[in-house]
């Protein structure tokens, strides 16, 4: 509504005065846009004073009308316009002072809405609560529209409604997160991968405060992303099992578990097919082990048993095979030692043979062959030592006692096996040494008839020029002495098999 008022001064003055009160919201054009009117009033000089007072009274009355009546008239006009344009019902604008207060309230409500909208826990709400978020945005947009039209009270209500919707959305965030996460796992359980991916992405868009919820959603998203490929591998494994191609089935299930190690069907299928493969491998290994034991191939048997034990370590068949293997290995070691000992005995290497027999006894004290073999080897070692004692120095036979002992030794070993040539050779040598030691040797002593001659352990022969003495082969010491001369002493060895030997002995160096 446009109100126009004219004031008439003195007759000589033309005055144009217009008072406009436009309380429209921004953007609303006034109902009438006529230019202000100009009135010229002339008055006589006699009634001027009375007219001024009358005019002042009129102005006071008009001011009162503007302050208290005009706002309600303007509100009625705006209400009529709002009914036509926006379809709002019975909105009455308060007086100018009240308008300013309502406007401030609307602005504060808008600020509260904007503050709520910027909260971190409402981030990405258009993704995880699109309907509720859009409703709040629509309410805020309605508030903006009311505000632009100057409908501050309606704007206040719209902003408050939008804030309330955001508060409700904020309060429901954790429940939405929990429900959406549970829904995601349910969809994944049903292999609805697209919907599951969308659910887990909505949870991650909520930016969960708890690390556990974030990890859970990330795990679900990762598993949902590969579920289709996992299902293909599972189908491939089932077809391979049906064709009895267990190796391919095991590889398929293993590939599925590599993509999703928590997928229970793949875990169960993998366990079942691997159990079948283990059973087949166990049977094959045990068959090889038993066959190798029977054929004496202990190395192959041991390898096969170890393979079987890795599959089923507590299987009684494995324990029994190990006992058989241990017994076979024990006997094999004994047989090996016996073989080496007997080979050394055949070579008349009795000390080495004795060592092998001792090892066999250490391995098994009940090994009878080792005990008898060790006793025989020790006797042979002793016999060879006795023979070597005489053969290394045949002069020992020059004495009666050693010669008698040698004869006894020969007598006790006159019946020897023909397969010991080394022993036979030594006995033959000793026999010849005994024979030669029994033949006397003629020793011719030559002197000067002034030296006294003595043969130790034989006798004193006095002075002579030449003397023959018959002695056994061996080593003898001959001494000569003469008064005024230095004594002389000589050693002579009478070699077995010689008939005569001679020695010159006399004292020639004066004292």
Closest by CA to 444, choosing from 398, 500, 498, is 500
Within-domain flag for 341:
no
pLDDT of 508 higher than 90: yes
For residue 500, the cross-strand partners are 442
Q: Which phi and psi (to 5°) does residue 62 adopt? A: -65, -35
Q: Which residue has the tokens 């309605």?
A: 142
Q: Given pLDDT bands bounded at 50, 70 and 90, which one contains residue 224?
A: very high
Within-domain flag for 334:
no
3-state secondary structure of 345: helix
Q: What is the pTM of this model?
A: 0.48
CA angle 507, 501, 480 (to 5 degrees): 20
Specify burial of residue 499 (Cβ count, 10 A radius: 0-12, 13-18, 19+). Answer: exposed
Question: Contact at 8 Å (CB) between 102 and 153?
Answer: yes
Q: What span, in angstroms and rounded, lies between the C-alpha atoms of 276 and 224? A: 30
What pLDDT, in 10s, does the model give residues 297-331?
A: 999 999 999 999 999 999 999 999 999 999 999 99
Question: Contact at 8 Å (CB) between 289 and 309?
Answer: no
Most confident region among 196-210, 249-263, 395-409, 434-448 by mean pLDDT: 249-263
Q: Which phi and psi (to 5°) does residue 143 adopt? A: -60, -40
Specify burial of residue 314 (Cβ count, 10 A radius: 0-12, 13-18, 19+). Answer: exposed
> Six-digit token pair at 113?
């809405």
Question: Contact at 8 Å (CB) between 136 and 165?
Answer: yes
CB neighbours of 383 closer than 8 A, spacing ≥ 6?
A: 413, 423
Of 93, 112, 134, the residue that ends a domain is 93
Within-domain flag for 456:
yes
CATH code, domain carrying 481: 2.60.40.10
- Which range of residues forms the domain containing residue 445? 439-511
What pLDDT, in 10s, does the model give residues 26-45?
A: 333 333 333 333 332 333 33
Within-domain flag for 307:
no
As a three-state string, the secondary structure of 147-175 is HHCCCHHHHHHHHHHHHHHHHHHHHCHHH
pLDDT of res. 38: 31
The domain tally of the chain equals 2
Of 72, 93, 114, the residue that ends a domain is 93
Q: Which phi and psi (to 5°) does residue 129 adopt? A: -150, 60
What pLDDT, in 10s, does the model give residues 365-383?
A: 988 999 999 999 999 999 9
Within-domain flag for 216:
no
Q: What span, in angstroms and rounded, lies between the C-alpha atoms of 251 and 255? A: 6
> Six-digit token pair at 466?
């030449």
| DSSP E strand stretches across 447-499 | 452-455, 459-462, 466-471, 474-481, 488-494
Closest by CA to 164, choosing from 113, 105, 114, 125, is 113
Element housing 500 (H / E): strand 500-504
Closest by CA to 159, choosing from 103, 119, 120, 121, is 103
pLDDT of res. 400: 82
3-state secondary structure of 498: coil
pLDDT of res. 330: 92
| Mean per-residue pLDDT, 284-288 | 95
Angle, helices 350-363/316-346, rounded to nearest 10 degrees: 160
Q: Which residue has the tokens 């258009």?
A: 126
Question: Contact at 8 Å (CB) between 143 and 159?
Answer: yes
Q: Which phi and psi (to 5°) does residue 64 adopt? A: -65, -35
What pLDDT, in 10s, does the model give residues 103-136?
A: 898 899 999 989 988 887 787 787 777 788 899 9
What pLDDT, in 10s, does the model give residues 479-501?
A: 999 999 999 999 998 888 788 99
Q: What span, in angstroms and rounded, lies between the C-alpha atoms of 67 and 218? A: 66
Return the CA Rg of the chain.
68
CB neighbours of 388 closer than 8 A, spacing ≥ 6?
A: 426
Within-domain flag for 212:
no
Within-domain flag for 77:
yes
pLDDT of 395 higher than 50: yes
Percent of the chain with pLDDT over 90: 56
Of 44, 62, 93, the residue that ends a domain is 93
pLDDT of 418 higher than 70: yes
Q: What span, in angstroms and rounded, lies between the C-alpha atoms of 344 and 2? A: 142
3-state secondary structure of 298: helix
Mean pLDDT of the chain: 81
Question: Does residue 77 or residue 289 have the better pLDDT?
Answer: 289
Within-domain flag for 416:
no
Q: How many whole angstroms from its chain centre is CA 425?
A: 71
Question: Does residue 203 or residue 254 have the better pLDDT?
Answer: 254
């Amino acid at each position: 509504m446009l109100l126009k008022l004219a004031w008439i001064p003195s007759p000589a003055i033309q005055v144009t005065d217009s008072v406009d009160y436009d309380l429209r919201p921004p953007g609303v054009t006034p109902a009438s846009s006529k230019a202000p009117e100009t009135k010229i009033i002339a008055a006589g000089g006699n009634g001027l004073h009375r007219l001024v007072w009358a005019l002042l009274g009129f102005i006071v009355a008009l001011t009162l009308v503007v302050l208290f009546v005009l706002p309600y008239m303007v509100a009625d006009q705006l209400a009529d316009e709002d009914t036509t344009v926006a379809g709002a019902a019975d909105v009455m604008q308060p007086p100018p002072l009240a308008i300013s207060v309502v406007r401030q309230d609307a602005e504060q409500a808008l600020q509260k809405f904007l503050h709520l909208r910027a909260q971190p826990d409402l981030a990405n709400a258009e993704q995880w609560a699109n309907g509720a978020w859009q409703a709040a945005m629509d309410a805020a947009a309605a508030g903006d529209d009311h505000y632009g039209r100057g409908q501050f009270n309606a704007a206040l209500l719209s902003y408050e409604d939008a804030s309330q919707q955001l508060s409700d959305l904020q309060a429901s965030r954790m429940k939405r997160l929990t429900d959406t996460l549970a829904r995601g796992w349910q969809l994944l359980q049903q292999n609805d991968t697209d919907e599951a991916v969308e659910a887990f992405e909505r949870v991650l868009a909520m930016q969960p405060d708890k690390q556990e919820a974030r990890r859970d959603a990330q795990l679900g998203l990762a598993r949902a992303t590969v579920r289709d490929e996992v299902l293909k591998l599972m189908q491939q494994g089932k077809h391979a099992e049906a064709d009895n191609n267990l190796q391919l089935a095991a590889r398929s299930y293993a590939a599925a578990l590599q993509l999703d190690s928590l997928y229970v069907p793949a875990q169960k299928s993998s366990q079942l097919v691997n159990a079948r493969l283990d059973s087949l491998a166990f049977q094959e290994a045990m068959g090889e082990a038993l066959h190798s034991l029977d054929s004496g191939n202990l190395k192959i048997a041991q390898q096969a048993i170890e393979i079987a034990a890795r599959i089923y370590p507590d299987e009684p068949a494995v324990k029994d095979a190990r006992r058989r293997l241990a017994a076979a290995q024990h006997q094999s070691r004994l047989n090996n030692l016996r073989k080496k000992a007997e080979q050394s005995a055949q070579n008349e290497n009795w000390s080495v043979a004795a060592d092998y027999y001792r090892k066999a006894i250490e391995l098994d004290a009940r090994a009878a062959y080792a005990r008898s073999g060790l006793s025989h080897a020790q006797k042979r070692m002793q016999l060879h030592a006795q023979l070597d004692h005489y053969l290394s120095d045949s002069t020992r036979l020059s004495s009666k006692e050693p010669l008698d002992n040698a004869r006894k030794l020969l007598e006790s070993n006159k019946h020897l096996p023909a397969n010991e040539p080394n022993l036979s050779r030594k006995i033959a040598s000793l026999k010849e040494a005994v024979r030669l030691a029994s033949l006397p040797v003629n020793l011719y002593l030559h002197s000067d008839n002034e030296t006294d001659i003595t043969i130790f352990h034989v006798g004193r022969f006095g002075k002579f020029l030449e003397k023959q003495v018959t002695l056994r082969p061996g080593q003898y010491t001959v001494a000569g002495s003469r008064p005024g001369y230095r004594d002389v002493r000589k050693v002579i060895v009478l070699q077995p098999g010689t008939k005569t030997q001679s020695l010159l002995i006399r004292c020639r160096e004066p004292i």
